[in-house]
Amino acid sequence: MPIYILLSTLTAEGRKTIEEKPMRIREVNKEMEDFGVKVLAQYAVLGPYDFVNIVEAPDNETIVRVSVELGSRRTVNVMSMPALPIDKFVTTAMRPRQEGISGAKLTKHSGAHFQETERFGTKL
């Protein structure tokens, strides 16, 4: 099943909820499971995000539903990113050149795409 990284930041209301009821985090994990998302690992972190969650979900649509549901509560803001295991990334990167959408040959990757997408906040 696909892996996703969820970076979350608590709102003022969310911080208040966690302060009053820390076990609410485990309740939310159970709610995510009800959507078909399995929490593989969860970390509280310092910095711009409060939590990093590594989850498994059947597809992007499931992650969208979970992110919208959690965000609609106004207690947390979630950034979701699909994650590709390094071995799969290497295998994919090593595939022979193939025809692109426009019919042009794909060339060896220069890394420019990674830099450009990072500038706009999109990660592969």
Chain segment 48-72, per-residue pLDDT in tens: 999 999 999 999 999 999 999 999 9
pLDDT score at 120: 46
Q: Do 14 and 29 belong together in one domain? A: yes
Decide if 82 contacts 2 (C-beta within 8 A).
yes
pLDDT band at 99; cut points 50, 70, 90: low
Q: Do 78 and 90 belong together in one domain? A: no
The answer to pTM > 0.75 is no
Chain segment 78-92, per-residue pLDDT in tens: 999 999 999 999 998
The structure tokens listed for 38 are 């399995």
Number of CB atoms found within 10 A of residue 17's CB: 18
Average pLDDT score over residue span 94-113: 57
Q: Do 46 and 22 belong together in one domain? A: yes
The domain of 114 spans 86-119
pLDDT score at 118: 44
